[in-house]
Copies of this chain bind each other. A is one copy, B any other.
């Protein structure tokens, strides 16, 4: 059986939103006991990460690293019409994940103890973002 559903997330601007519980709820709703869940972000300036879920500072430090690696307003970029944060957002999306597949075991996303699933908004402004979920299994 294949179930298609969607998570809609209103981001507050740059940073991460925990989508683990919302994705777990969709798996439960689907009734799938064994299979896989594909999370696919339908954007190129927001993306997915699997990250440590115990200390929020981990995600703030990751943000600090990305902000230094792909700084806003970098003069290397020429695609600047959409703002100084647009091209860095595309770079960040490419370095992280647009598509992520997670096993489903015993009716749940089979994550490690310290793993959370996060939508990463890379633009500085707030956006409405969509993650398409494809739940496959039995």
- Chain A interfacial positions (CB closer than 8 Å to B): 2, 4, 34-36, 38, 40-45, 49-52, 55, 57-58, 60-62, 64-65, 68-70, 74, 76-79, 87, 90-91, 93-103, 105, 110-115, 130, 132, 134, 136-138
Instruction: Specify which chain B residues have a CB less than 8 angstroms from the CB of A93 in the assembled complex.
Output: 50
- Is B110 within 8 A of A50, CB to CB? no
Q: Are B34 and A60 closer than 8 Å at their CB atoms?
A: no
Q: Is the CB–CB distance between B96 and A77 below 8 Å?
A: no
What is the total number of copies of this protein in its complex? 3
Question: How far, in Å, is A133 (CB) from chain B's closest CB?
Answer: 8
Query: Closest chain B residue to A33 by CB distance?
Result: B2
Closest approach, in angstroms, between the C-beta of A116 and any C-beta of chain B?
9
- Say yes or no: A98 contacts B100, CB within 8 Å: yes
Q: B62 and A94: CB pair below 8 A?
A: yes
Please tell me if the beta carbons of B34 and A2 are within 8 angstroms of each other in the complex.
Answer: yes
B residues less than 8 Å from A130 (CB atoms): 112
- Name the residue of chain B whose CB is nearest to the CB of A60: B78
Chain B minimum-CB-distance residue to A117: B98
| Chain B residues, Cβ within 8 Å of A36 | 38, 134, 136
- Chain B residue nearest in CB terms to A130: B112
